[in-house]
Structure 1
Amino acid sequence: MHVFIMVAGVFTGAHVWEETAAQLAAAGSEAHAVPLTGVDGARPAAPADVGLETHIEDVVAAIDAVDVASGREIVLVGHDYGIHPVLGAADRRAGRVARVVHLDCGMPQNGVPALAAVPDQALRAQLAERAGAGRREGVLAPPAAPGAWERWGSTAGLDATALERLTARAAPQPMGTLLQPLRLSGAVAAVPVTGVLCTRNGADLGSVQRLVDFGDPALAALTEPQVSFFELPTGHWPMLSCPADLADVLLRAAAGEGHRLRAAGGDAPVPAHLRPFPWDLPELPRDRRGPVDLYVPDGEGPRPAVVFVHGGPVPAGARPRPREWPTLVGHARLAAAGGVVGVTLEHRLHDLADYERAAADVADGVERVRADPRVDADRIALWFFSGGGLLTTDWLARPPAWLRCLAASYPVLAPLPAWGMAGTRFHPARAVAGAGDLPVVLLHAGREAPGIAATVEAFVSAAGACAARLELIDVPNGHHGFETLDAPEETRPALDRAMRSVISHLTG
């Protein structure tokens, strides 16, 4: 059996683990929730005296309190901010820790403060500016009302009572816990790891695997044999929304179970974005003009054009570049086979903070396309994919006269909760009210990840409320990236219909 030592996230104390701890105890394990100094009422302290190191010492003390002679293995569980003191303690007691569980949180690195993991991008920038000005003391106030918790993660699965409880027992977070860098010697790298992804908060196994498949070296560690993953179909606080399910996952993690990710390259299956486009098309040469590649059909011009905008974020060093991916090139050639110019476009969406830059890149690329003499500048369609769906916002809110149609395949149509973009303008579900007569063609994957599917549902509802010209094309058994993942007989009819619709809006 095991000893579970659990550390709560920002603003919360040991109380959030009560139900989960009871479930673990009923299964025969020990479970201890660590009261954090200056946050949990059991360990009061002045905020100026509390930093990340203080909380690391709290967790180290909990480890040292476990009787070595019992033979029980220690599993450290860190939720949200709690993973920072967990990793710091595991690094100092690596020989005593059997596993670290990252509960709906990232992978903190040596020398990086917890501030980097604050999900709300606007708030993170404000706090960084404050720290840069030397104002490092004081506290960060907790959410003052139940609805304000969404800035810190999805509250899916929490009823009104749970949200009221979370709010009533929330405590200010000492600034030193967020600003003090995490210091690791490297010893923790030998400790097995399990990640628990709360899918309603925006992350799932499919999205993590796609990031690994892009070849980012920073994510290669996620494919090591000692790393496993689980999913929970809930929001950011599973210890409150589904404590029994969480306890079951923790027990299975402690036993070494879980999903393993495949490494990029080598003998691994070809990732979805690099698989061949699944049907034959005429081989049309690529004409590269700066950030855009044009696939121009034979014959006299100028012709309408469809500009295909890839998703992301995609690491800056990913090769081949997205505009060269078989899916994007296949779409461009399919458009050219229909008599219009197909275009793939490069933009710099390398991180969640890059949407402003990517939006500017797309706007610039579209103008380059319109300026090409082979293109009818007054007949343009834009087609977005996956995480590029947020880039539809500006075009929906204020569609120019020359934009004859907007299409999207398996798009993200509102920022996912964990992305921290609530304060940005990139909310297509809000922007669609400004679309007017702009035709919108939406390809929906029936087996979409829950978090993304929820954004599509919200968009469709908003489009209906404002009588937008939405054509919804379902791929009932389709997955995210269905063109190369699923059987052509399942996907081609939908894609052919979508392409015919887009071209008809361009040429009609």
Structure 2
Amino acid sequence: MTVFVLVPEAHTGGWVWEDVAGRLRESGAGAHPVTLTGMAGSRRPAGPGTDLETHVEDVLRVVDGAGSRDAADVVLVGHGYGIHPVLAAADRRPGRIARVVHLDAGLPRDGDPPLKLVPDQDLRARLSAETARGDDEWGIAPPTPGAWDRWGSTSGVPAGALARLAADAAPQPAGTLTAPLRLSGAAAALPTTGVLCTGNGTSIAAVEGLVGLGHPELQALTDPRVTFFELATGHWPMLSTPGELAGVLLKAAAGEGHRITATGEPPAHLRPFLLDVPERPRERFGRTDLYLPEPADGGGARPAVVFVHGGPVPAGARPTPRDWPAFAGYGRLAAARGAVGATVDHRLHELGDFPRAAEDLAEAVEVVRADPRVDADRVALWFFSAGGLLSADWLAAPPRWLRCVAATYPVLAPLPNWGLNASRFRPAAAAAVHGAGALPIVLTRVGRERTEIAATVEEFLSAAKDAGADVEVVDLPDGTHGFETTDHGGEARRAVERAMRTVLGHLRG
């Protein structure tokens, strides 16, 4: 018999699992929703001493009870914050656990406090500062009724369930978020399943992309004992799609699911650029590389295009983005067309790094404009993927020398689980509130984009239209994210050529 131990997200209790637990029991499995200390329905009130260890003990009591009956296979399911007490409990009872399921949850490591994975970055900053000061706040108020998306997208949650989510929420003991997770490694070999909620901004394709970047901690995801499922809903599938979630949990317990395999071939981002571009001289200035055109007859400064990569890219990834074939290819292509091409290694290593990446970009732009071979009054910025969020500052207040902004398969609004909803990094809002005026915008849109990213592009285009912005869309109907190194077909090559020709035309016009 399989028994599921269901551990909820922060501020919530076992009640959120009622529908899923009922469906699991109807299938013949056991189901034990856990209400952690201090949450609504718990017989154990929280206090200043309640911390992560308290919640680990809560889970262990249920595991010990469930695992002792009929030699049951215990599947531990952790939703969001709940993955932390789940992993610690599995670490102490590895012999009783058949599988660990990360339900729209991250991959915390030994020593990480749960706060590190809290999506609400304002809360992360506040609690981190209070912990550093030694403040004694112990209860973190739950979100207000309209702000639950700060913990993850509420897409698909019925109004009644959303109202109950707010009504039954309880303060989260601060120690459960700030105390470090302690893992000995005893459960490292347990089978694991990730259930990804695409409406919250994640997907199997996104995970495979991160694995391809070479982050050593993610290479374990290629282990055949690790499987994945997707649910087309927001962060609360037990409330929005309980039937589908129950079905996925049963399949996970049976060892089913998508597996990420290591093919031995170069990852997509390290494959050759789709155009055969001649080599050009490259000069390195700190985090910025310049690709230089052939000397003009009689000299003269040239316009420049600054190419801005996406991310997050792990700090230890090698090669770094400016040495990836796509960005080197774009830099050489700009130089071959008579402009200075500039590539930048900005430090967007984690989702909280957008402010630092913005500073790196501003610094790189000044390096480019200060070069005597560059016409400082004719510069374009070209953003890719999640680097698109960095365009917001420039769209909101374009400097006079910025002649064009380009974006290729961009992310143009933060995804729900990024915790950036109230931040300045919202290009759609910049276009809607400030407008880009006469600043030309060249946007390459791929038809086979991830749904959650495509929605941000459409949001931006709608806002830009309302603001009267000058946007030219280069459509690639069969294109995918990162197509420059995965598709060498004629349509893809023509899309790159058209976008480059248009950008350079604005620089020279």
Scaled to the shorter chain, the TM-score interval is over 0.9
Structure 2 residue 357 is the aligned partner of structure 1 residue 358: yes
Q: Deviations over 1:233-284 (max 9, x none)?
A: 1111011111111111111111111222234xxx522111111012212222
- Classify the secondary structure of the residue corresponding to 1:65: helix
Q: What residue number does 1:221 align with?
A: 220
- Classify the secondary structure of the residue corresponding to 2:428: helix
- The alpha-carbon deviation at position 79 of structure 1 amounts to 0.2
**Residue identity opposite 1:222 in structure 2:** L
Q: What residue number does 1:276 align with?
A: 272
- Classify the secondary structure of the residue corresponding to 1:77: strand
- Measured at CA, do residues 3 and 465 of structure 1 come closer, stay the same or move farther in structure 2, by a change above 3 Å? same
Taking the aligned partners of 1:92 and 1:291, their CA distance within structure 2 comes to 45
**Is the CA contact 1:200–1:236 (under 8 Å) kept in the aligned structure 2?**
yes
Q: What residue number does 1:18 align with?
A: 18
- The alpha-carbon deviation at position 137 of structure 1 amounts to 4.6
- Classify the secondary structure of the residue corresponding to 2:75: strand
**Is the CA contact 1:137–1:176 (under 8 Å) kept in the aligned structure 2?**
no
Taking the aligned partners of 2:305 and 2:469, their CA distance within structure 1 comes to 21
Q: What residue number does 2:390 align with?
A: 391
- Classify the secondary structure of the residue corresponding to 1:453: helix
**Is the CA contact 1:194–1:227 (under 8 Å) kept in the aligned structure 2?**
yes
Taking the aligned partners of 2:69 and 2:103, their CA distance within structure 1 comes to 28
**Is the CA contact 1:47–1:137 (under 8 Å) kept in the aligned structure 2?**
no
Q: What residue number does 1:231 align with?
A: 230
- The alpha-carbon deviation at position 382 of structure 1 amounts to 0.7
**Residue identity opposite 1:178 in structure 2:** L
**What percent of counterpart residues are identical?**
61
**Is the CA contact 1:262–1:268 (under 8 Å) kept in the aligned structure 2?**
no
- Classify the secondary structure of the residue corresponding to 1:426: coil
- Classify the secondary structure of the residue corresponding to 2:48: helix
Taking the aligned partners of 1:213 and 1:392, their CA distance within structure 2 comes to 26
Q: State which drifts further: 241-250 or 60-69.
A: 60-69
Q: What residue number does 2:292 align with?
A: 296
Taking the aligned partners of 1:110 and 1:368, their CA distance within structure 2 comes to 40
Q: What residue number does 2:407 align with?
A: 408
Q: What residue number does 1:317 align with?
A: 316
**Is the CA contact 2:67–2:74 (under 8 Å) kept in the aligned structure 1?**
no
Taking the aligned partners of 1:161 and 1:466, their CA distance within structure 2 comes to 36
Would you identify which runs of 4 or more consecutive aligned residues in structure 1 move more than 4 Å? none
- The alpha-carbon deviation at position 391 of structure 1 amounts to 0.7
Q: What residue number does 1:492 align with?
A: 493
**Residue identity opposite 1:232 in structure 2:** L
Q: What residue number does 1:339 align with?
A: 338
Q: What residue number does 2:81 align with?
A: 81
- The alpha-carbon deviation at position 46 of structure 1 amounts to 3.6
**Residue identity opposite 1:284 in structure 2:** R
- The alpha-carbon deviation at position 469 of structure 1 amounts to 0.8
- Measured at CA, do residues 309 and 253 of structure 1 come closer, stay the same or move farther in structure 2, by a change above 3 Å? same
Q: Deviations over 1:311-359 (max 9, x none)?
A: 1111222111111111011112222232222221221111212111111
- The alpha-carbon deviation at position 493 of structure 1 amounts to 2.2
**Is the CA contact 2:40–2:169 (under 8 Å) kept in the aligned structure 1?**
no
**Is the CA contact 2:280–2:336 (under 8 Å) kept in the aligned structure 1?**
no
**Is the CA contact 1:77–1:83 (under 8 Å) kept in the aligned structure 2?**
yes
Q: What residue number does 2:503 align with?
A: 502
Taking the aligned partners of 1:282 and 1:104, their CA distance within structure 2 comes to 45
**Is the CA contact 1:39–1:174 (under 8 Å) kept in the aligned structure 2?**
no
Q: State which drifts further: 218-227 or 475-484.
A: 218-227
Q: What residue number does 1:462 align with?
A: 463
- The alpha-carbon deviation at position 405 of structure 1 amounts to 0.4
**Residue identity opposite 2:291 in structure 1:** Y
Q: Deviations over 1:169-214 (max 9, x none)?
A: 2111122221222222221112111111111211112222222222
Taking the aligned partners of 1:501 and 1:159, their CA distance within structure 2 comes to 46
**Is the CA contact 2:278–2:332 (under 8 Å) kept in the aligned structure 1?**
yes
- Classify the secondary structure of the residue corresponding to 2:66: coil
What are the residue-to-residue correspondences of 1:97-108 with 2, within 5 Å? Answer: 97-108=97-108
Structure 2 residue 109 is the aligned partner of structure 1 residue 109: yes
Taking the aligned partners of 1:13 and 1:80, their CA distance within structure 2 comes to 13
Structure 2 residue 450 is the aligned partner of structure 1 residue 449: yes
Runs of at least 5 residues in structure 1 that lack an aligned partner in the other structure: none
Taking the aligned partners of 1:183 and 1:100, their CA distance within structure 2 comes to 16
**Is the CA contact 2:446–2:480 (under 8 Å) kept in the aligned structure 1?**
yes
- The alpha-carbon deviation at position 88 of structure 1 amounts to 1.4
Number of aligned positions between the proteins: 504
Q: What residue number does 2:307 align with?
A: 308
